[in-house]
Structure 1
Amino acid sequence: MILRPASRAELPAVLALLADEEKVVDPASITVTAAYERAFAEIESDPRNEMLVFVDGDDVVVGCLQATYIPGLGRGGAERALIEAVRIRADRRGGGLGRELMARAVERARARGCGLVQLTSDKRRTEAHRFYASLGFARSHDGFKLTLSSA
């Protein structure tokens, strides 16, 4: 398995993973809108952001995550890594790929000098919460979000 930054050509595969956790979505069925194109281009051009894909030996995207590296004054001025949009393709779950994906993402953060890796997960994703806890992530904070309407 290879973990690397996503290419533009892999954007439909990433969006397919994000579209539905419970089933495999065909990347060919995904419409890549201008908003997705813009967001991907911004992630790709920002040295503090990575859209990473986990690719098998047949060059099939079987997992993804986004890592954002945040500078801060806490923890001695060390960066922290924020991991979001973690997905493993539905038909490939249960074999340790998620554990491997997260271990490699944590190692990337460590190699970068990050002092902390943090993530958020929707409260409804109870299986994901058990998974993150099994990796050593602790529920240390309550998070809050405010959805802003686009005007």
Structure 2
Amino acid sequence: MSAATGPAPAPAHVLRPATRADLPAVLALLADEEAVVDPTTVVVTEAYERAFAAIDADPRNEVLVLLDGAGAVVGCLQATYIPGLGKGGAERALVEAVRIRADRRGAGLGRTLMAHAVTRARSRGCALVQLTSDKERADAHRFYAALGFARSHEGFKLAL
């Protein structure tokens, strides 16, 4: 490296399917609401192990991680590809558990993560991407609307 050129630029962010080794970092992101949670402090329970193994074994489910140029997990989401009889029999992608690490929010990583997810859904032939967001998350609602997502349904849940 010469003084004129400076250090080589860091590689762009990479989206890839999560591996078992990423599980603590993904769980840390899911626990991270306002502050970064250290993945080394996350307890990976047997229930998390079973859930990840089931997702990993199912070709219609995936957890995706967004890595920064240094290889750190800075974002994640889960995508489920659902076959259906509507939309001409096309699949739809359901996106859940979208998270960007607290100290990296506001830098366009969420936009990058969602753009990759939409591209993956499109490449599978999905006719639409759908998601739900907690009614209290006004910032998330503005974010999804800015990406072109439209409010189209009222959701209901039944805890079992």
Q: Which of the numbers 40, 43, 59 marks the counterpart of 2:52?
A: 40
Instruction: Specify the alignment match of 1:11 in structure 2.
Output: 23
Q: Which of the numbers 122, 128, 153 marks the counterpart of 1:116?
A: 128
Instruction: Specify the alignment match of 1:24 in structure 2.
Output: 36
User: Aligned-pair distance for 1:4?
Assistant: 0.5
Q: Which of the numbers 71, 82, 89 marks the counterpart of 2:94?
A: 82
- The yes-or-no answer on 1:127 pairing with 2:139 is yes
Structure 2 unaligned segments of length 5 or more: list them. Answer: 1-12
Q: Which of the numbers 137, 140, 150 marks the counterpart of 2:152?
A: 140
- The yes-or-no answer on 1:67 pairing with 2:79 is yes
- Code of the residue aligned with 1:104 in structure 2: it is H
TM-score, normalization by structure 1: 0.97
- Count of aligned pairs: 148
TM-score, normalization by structure 2: 0.92
Structure 1 unaligned segments of length 5 or more: list them. Answer: none
Extract structure 1 runs of 4+ deviating beyond 3 A.
Answer: none
| Alignment RMSD (CA, Å) | 0.5
- 2:32–2:101 Cα contact (<8 Å) kept: no
- Code of the residue aligned with 1:145 in structure 2: it is K
